[in-house]
Amino acid sequence: MNMMIQIQNLLKKFQNKIAVDISDLTIEAGEMIGLVGNNGAGKTTLLRLILDLIKADRGHVSSNGEDVSKSESWKAYTGSYLDEDFNIEFLTPEEFFIFITEEYGIPRTELKQKLGGFQSLFDGQVLGQNKKYIRDFSKGNKQKIGIASALMTDPKVLILDEPFSNLDPSSQIFLKNFLKDYHTRSSATMIISSHDLKHVTEICTRIILIEHGKVIRDMRNESDTLAQLESYFSSIAQSERMI
């Protein structure tokens, strides 16, 4: 299996606080990674470093053998959605999706077909809203727009931060099934950060647990992985109550 993403000697601080400190981490092509940890663990900072959105204090991230901070070739095969800033909020959803297809060189004739795959996720609340701008949508619908824009380019690397957090139960179920199906069809490398342990253990092949910027556990997803994670976080909660 060829290496897709490699992290080496990576350090990021904010003032004197260490946000990420990972000496060596390899994510192979085709792996579906669940990234878990409490608030402030460093998950989002790590994703931002992988996407070259912030500069590391030390070390580097490489995608397909190229340093992401020194090359832009990885952007052509990478789809991502971390938060609302990834949307262009003064556009309508239709205008935004057209912009995405043009940026990635996708023929306009394929747009309708691509959007058709997200109709169940949109649930009639995203498209055809009479010039309603993205900034005027609910958090949940903004998230649906962003996730769809990340997936419609058929990425070989997909990075999502808390994709289930603002979605209703029906949309969460649709998204889980969609991600599993997409992974089966494309063999894409996926990194999905989530506070919902059940969601990530239902769809991911490997779970990486981060605390205080460091990888605490790195495990294949087995039948007892959810129980192990719940036990770990339960012990932390119990120790905090005793302080």
pLDDT cut 70: percent of the chain above it? 97
Asked if residues 22 and 47 have their Cβ atoms less than 8 Å apart, the reply is no
Q: Which domain holds residue 170?
A: 3-242
Kindly report the CATH number assigned to the domain that includes residue 116.
3.40.50.300
Count of other CB atoms within 10 angstroms of residue 85 = 10
Residue 80 in this model has a pLDDT that exceeds 90: yes
Cα(7)–Cα(146) distance, integer angstroms? 26
Question: What pLDDT is recorded for position 241?
Answer: 60
Question: What pLDDT is recorded for position 2?
Answer: 58
In this prediction, residues 174-186 reach a mean pLDDT of 96
Residue 243 in this model has a pLDDT that exceeds 60: no
Asked if residues 29 and 77 have their Cβ atoms less than 8 Å apart, the reply is no
Tens of pLDDT, residue by residue over 88-142, are 999 999 999 999 999 999 998 999 999 999 999 999 999 999 899 999 999 999 9
Asked if residues 118 and 69 have their Cβ atoms less than 8 Å apart, the reply is no
Cα(87)–Cα(66) distance, integer angstroms? 26
Question: What pLDDT is recorded for position 1?
Answer: 43
Full-prediction pTM beyond 0.85? yes
Question: What pLDDT is recorded for position 236?
Answer: 83
- Give the number of domains in the chain: 1
Tens of pLDDT, residue by residue over 26-60, are 999 999 999 999 999 999 999 999 999 999 999 99
Cα(125)–Cα(112) distance, integer angstroms? 16
